[in-house]
Amino acid sequence: MNQIKLKHPVEIDGATVDSLDMRRPKVKDQLAADKGAGGNAAKEVRLFANLCEVVPATIEELDLSDYQQLQETYTSFLS
């Protein structure tokens, strides 16, 4: 599990989220993300939400620089 410290914390339901813990992905995570509607970006948001154990709305509120950190962490799991 990797902790990602957010450069720009977000407020979700009155609580400040300043970091996210992303676990290593499994095949079932990819399958679950692919089941939902939407394009590749929406699927990636669902995947990251699942891996970080938060609702997709939390991922959607992230600053793009913080979202990029999630993408880089995810990619590092695959190499």
pLDDT (tens, 9 = 90+) of the chain, 79 residues, equals 999 999 999 999 999 999 999 999 999 999 999 998 899 999 999 999 999 999 999 999 999 999 999 999 999 999 8
pLDDT at 55: 95
pLDDT at 37: 85
Q: Are the beta carbons of 68 and 20 closer than 8 angstroms?
A: no
Cβ neighbours of 59 (radius 10 Å) = 22
Q: Are the beta carbons of 22 and 73 closer than 8 angstroms?
A: yes
Distance (Å, whole) CA 70 – CA 14: 23
pLDDT at 45: 97
Place of tokens 């620089």: 65
Count of domains forming the chain: 1
Place of tokens 């410290």: 5
pTM: 0.94
pLDDT at 77: 96
Range of the domain at 55: 2-78
Distance (Å, whole) CA 66 – CA 5: 8
